[in-house]
A and B are shown apart, each in its own frame.
Chain A
Amino acid sequence: MFDGLGLLFGGITHFLNPVSLFNIAWATLLGIIIGALPGLTATMGVALLVTLTYKMSPDQAILCLMCLYSGAIYGGSRTAILLAIPGTPASAATTLDGHPLALQGKAGLAMGLATTSSALGTVVGIFFLALIAPLLAEAALRFGTYEFFWLALFGVVISGQLTAMDDPLKGYIAGILGLLIAMIGMETLHAHQRFTFGIAALGGGVDLIPAMVGAFGFAEILGVMKRRAQARVVTAGDRVVPRFGEVLKYWKTTLRSGVIGTFVGIVPGVGEDVGAWASYAAAKRASKERKLFGRGSQEGLIAAETGNSAVVPGAMIPTLTLALPGSAAAAVLIAAMFIHGIRPGPLLMTENPQFLYQIVAILLFSTLAILVFGLSLTRPLLTVLMVPRERLMPIVYVLCVVGSFAITQRMFDVYVMVAFGLIGFLLREMKYPMAPLVLGIILGDLLDLNLRRGLLLTNGDPSPFFTRPISAVICLTIVFTILMSIPAVSSRVRALFVRNTGRAGSV
């Protein structure tokens, strides 16, 4: 306990120097701007910034990336409130009540509440990150090859199930495609090259960063430019800094949304958008002012913004302790950590325990920066929203090209980016979620290696995959998740429960 506090104090003081504070300031501000600009998402921002930070020292690079990540998740709320279009998918739930508030002349209040809620959401998430991550890392030390195989599969299945907009089947297909993409290149057990078709550049497999820049950058540009009209900006006339009473009035909602957001973050590959929707739905169910939801409810806005921001620290829990990305942006962070020689996973707490607390400190600092910038820079951020996309998007595309080229300096990576952009766009148009695809790419190697290594250890006997207690639990969860996504099965299970409760009620 006191070790943890000492490490946390060490993490905070580690960044109390002018260079770090400067990096926190610009990265968070850049994140807010990226989040606020429709079409630029947190994942895309983090993927592009990896290129710009890879010559920095590891701690400063991760500092910049984390600050940009949490800044962008918050920045999306600004667009949601003033333009009624989410700046990032994470703010989709914020539009429901944020924009009606703005139309009622309360844009300032809405922006202020979004800022404080984001900050409080991150704080709740940080608390759980500091509490749960060390425990999970310790538990994960007992995980072996069999458990890691199931965990990788679980990550892809649950992400496919929860991020698909209306059809888990499409989520699963996206996940399988991601896993198949990970099969390209040299496999690690016997060093055999698979699916390279004689192309030497494919020997190392498909790099995650160009793939992400394509799927989240170029695809997004195509999606944004496809639409003709640009929304009108509502301006704010009232005060932005909220009163204490306004912030604390719905403290139960804040706490509940923070906890929901954190736990959504922990689920692999399920990101901020789901965190916001889940918190919003829970707040609506529990609220006494249910009728106001969707018409400018402050409680709804608080729930959505607290929920999406709490996902950021929550997502870092599996990312750091299991190397399973908690969200799409966290997948890029894992890639960035590897570039900088940091190995997330169960051994992190043994090899590099101060790193976890540095992440906690970074999130605390970025929260402070969000509060300061969010409550003070109302006018400049309004100007950002008015930048025409016709002039912004070509510059973003140039950054996508340079960003994918810069890391390994191969044109091949630029072609990968373009291919992923075009395929990603088509898949999105057909309502396939991108998160399981990305998770598949990052977890494919883990799944492949651990399945075959497990079979090698047992001389071909698959039974330990099903008989070891933790393996069995994860396996059953996967089976249950898949079965429940089949409409015929889930409706029967539901009917069973309804009948039982109905009978119990009548007795």
Chain B
Amino acid sequence: MDDREAGPAGPDMVGQDAEDGARMVRADLLAGLFFVVLGVAILYASWTMPRLEARRIHPMTIPGLVPGLLSVALVICGGVLAFRSSRAHAPGGWRALGSIFTSEAALRAGAVAGLALIYTLGLVGLVPFWAATAIFVAAFILVFEVWLAEPRRPLLESLPWAVGLAIVTAIVVTLVFERAFLVRLP
């Protein structure tokens, strides 16, 4: 509890921890402001939600009641988070927050998200499910074993694994779900 009072950027924090703490303070500030805006938008939508007067429902049971109350709670919590973060001392926080978007971790997470989105929103529906799955699995393995690995594997070493696993996954998933569970695949 005492740590919490000192805040994420307490005086005794040094090096990487201090940078992480400062980054989190700034991220909290942005997130807090976002939650306030989101809360206000939901509050407006709840306020303007039909009150079903024509059906003569009790005014205390209108559909917008609970979302309205929850949005107020969100505005309060987001406001406290933003206020607390704006007052915390976080030297270099903005820079640290900006640098996270160019870090290797962001590149790796971005690669996963990109591959997943191309597979889910692009390939599935465009080509048969088994083909989409095989392409996705092979591409994923190659990207992470050959390009984003440290040390990198030679392409010829990874390729048989990637293609083999892609074919096996595509066949097994399609057979198991379509034949055994009778699920029509996308």
Question: Chain A interface (Cβ within 8 Å of chain B)?
Answer: 51-52, 55, 166-167, 169-170, 172-173, 176-177, 179-180, 183, 187, 189-190, 192, 194-195, 218, 221-223, 225-229, 388, 390-391, 393-395, 397-399, 401-402, 405-406, 409, 411, 414-415, 418, 421-422, 425, 430-431, 447-448, 451-453, 455-456, 459-460, 487, 490-491, 494
6 extra A-B contacts, CB within 8 A, seeds A183-B67, A452-B65: A173-B81, A180-B71, A390-B149, A394-B136, A394-B137, A414-B124
- Known contacts A176-B73, A180-B74, A405-B186; A398/B60 CB under 8 A: no
In the bound assembly, the distance between CA atoms of A468 and B109 in angstroms comes to 51
CB<8 Å pairs between A and B, sample of 18: A55-B182, A169-B81, A172-B77, A179-B70, A183-B67, A187-B63, A194-B64, A218-B116, A223-B109, A226-B109, A391-B161, A422-B113, A452-B60, A453-B61, A455-B61, A456-B60, A459-B58, A487-B1
Partner of A460, one of B60, B115, B124, B185: B60
Say whether A491 contacts B5, CB under 8 Å: yes
Say whether A393 contacts B140, CB under 8 Å: yes
Residues of B within 8 A of A455 (CB): 58, 60-61
- Known contacts A194-B63, A195-B45; A176/B3 CB under 8 A: no
Residues of A within 8 A of B4 (CB): 166-167, 487
With an 8 A cutoff between CB atoms, is B40 at the interface?
no
Say whether A418 contacts B120, CB under 8 Å: yes
Ranked 9 nearest A-B pairs via Cβ: A394-B140, A460-B60, A390-B144, A455-B60, A448-B66, A452-B61, A192-B63, A394-B137, A226-B109
In the bound assembly, the distance between CA atoms of A138 and B50 in angstroms comes to 40
Partner of A190, one of B61, B121, B186: B61
Q: Which of B10-18, B27-35, B86-94 contacts A (4 or more CB under 8 A)?
A: B27-35
Say whether B137 contacts A395, CB under 8 Å: yes
In the bound assembly, the distance between CA atoms of A471 and B112 in angstroms comes to 47
In the bound assembly, the distance between CA atoms of A226 and B112 in angstroms comes to 8
Say whether A409 contacts B184, CB under 8 Å: yes
Partner of B77, one of A169, A395, A453: A169
Residues of A within 8 A of B167 (CB): none
In the bound assembly, the distance between CA atoms of A166 and B4 in angstroms comes to 7
Residues of A within 8 A of B105 (CB): 226-228
Residues of A within 8 A of B185 (CB): 402, 405
CB distance from A291 to the nearest CB of B (A): 23
With an 8 A cutoff between CB atoms, is B57 at the interface?
yes
Residues 71 to 99 of chain B near chain A (Cβ within 8 Å): 71, 73-74, 77-78, 80-81, 84
CB distance from B112 to the nearest CB of A (A): 5
Say whether B31 contacts A55, CB under 8 Å: no
Residues of B within 8 A of A394 (CB): 115, 136-137, 140-141, 165, 169
Partner of A228, one of B64, B104, B145: B104
With an 8 A cutoff between CB atoms, is B44 at the interface?
no
- Interface centre among B35, B57, B115, B120, by most chain A C-beta atoms within 10 angstroms, is B120
Question: Chain B interface (Cβ within 8 Å of chain A)?
Answer: 1, 3-5, 24, 27-28, 31, 35, 42, 45, 49-50, 52, 55, 57-61, 63-67, 70-71, 73-74, 77-78, 80-81, 84, 104-106, 108-109, 111-113, 115-117, 119-121, 124-125, 133, 136-137, 140-141, 144-145, 149-150, 161, 165, 169, 173, 177, 181-186
Q: Which residue of B lies closest to A171 (CB)?
A: B77
Say whether B181 contacts A52, CB under 8 Å: yes
Residues of A within 8 A of B35 (CB): 173
Q: Which residue of A lies closest to B181 (CB)?
A: A55
Say whether A414 contacts B186, CB under 8 Å: yes
Residues of B within 8 A of A51 (CB): 181, 183
CB distance from B6 to the nearest CB of A (A): 10
Say whether A397 contacts B116, CB under 8 Å: yes
CB distance from A404 to the nearest CB of B (A): 10
Residues of A within 8 A of B149 (CB): 390
Say whether A173 contacts B78, CB under 8 Å: yes
Residues of A within 8 A of B182 (CB): 55
In the bound assembly, the distance between CA atoms of A431 and B80 in angstroms comes to 16
- Known contacts A166-B3, A172-B77; A225/B112 CB under 8 A: yes
Say whether A425 contacts B117, CB under 8 Å: no
Residues of A within 8 A of B141 (CB): 390-391, 394
In the bound assembly, the distance between CA atoms of A127 and B137 in angstroms comes to 45
Q: Which residue of A lies closest to B67 (CB)?
A: A183
Say whether A194 contacts B49, CB under 8 Å: yes
In the bound assembly, the distance between CA atoms of A406 and B117 in angstroms comes to 19
Residues of A within 8 A of B71 (CB): 180
- Known contacts A190-B63, A455-B61; A183/B116 CB under 8 A: no
Partner of A418, one of B1, B3, B80, B116: B116
In the bound assembly, the distance between CA atoms of A176 and B74 in angstroms comes to 7
In the bound assembly, the distance between CA atoms of A218 and B185 in angstroms comes to 19
Partner of B67, one of A195, A405, A487, A490: A195
- Known contacts A173-B81, A222-B112, A228-B104; A398/B137 CB under 8 A: yes
Say whether B177 contacts A414, CB under 8 Å: no
- Known contacts A173-B77, A180-B71, A190-B61; A401/B169 CB under 8 A: no
Q: Which residue of B lies closest to A422 (CB)?
A: B113
Say whether B59 contacts A460, CB under 8 Å: yes
Say whether B42 contacts A180, CB under 8 Å: yes
CB distance from A214 to the nearest CB of B (A): 11
CB distance from B66 to the nearest CB of A (A): 4
In the bound assembly, the distance between CA atoms of A460 and B60 in angstroms comes to 6
Q: Which residue of B lies closest to A227 (CB)?
A: B105
In the bound assembly, the distance between CA atoms of A179 and B27 in angstroms comes to 23
- Known contacts A183-B70, A460-B60; A222/B113 CB under 8 A: yes
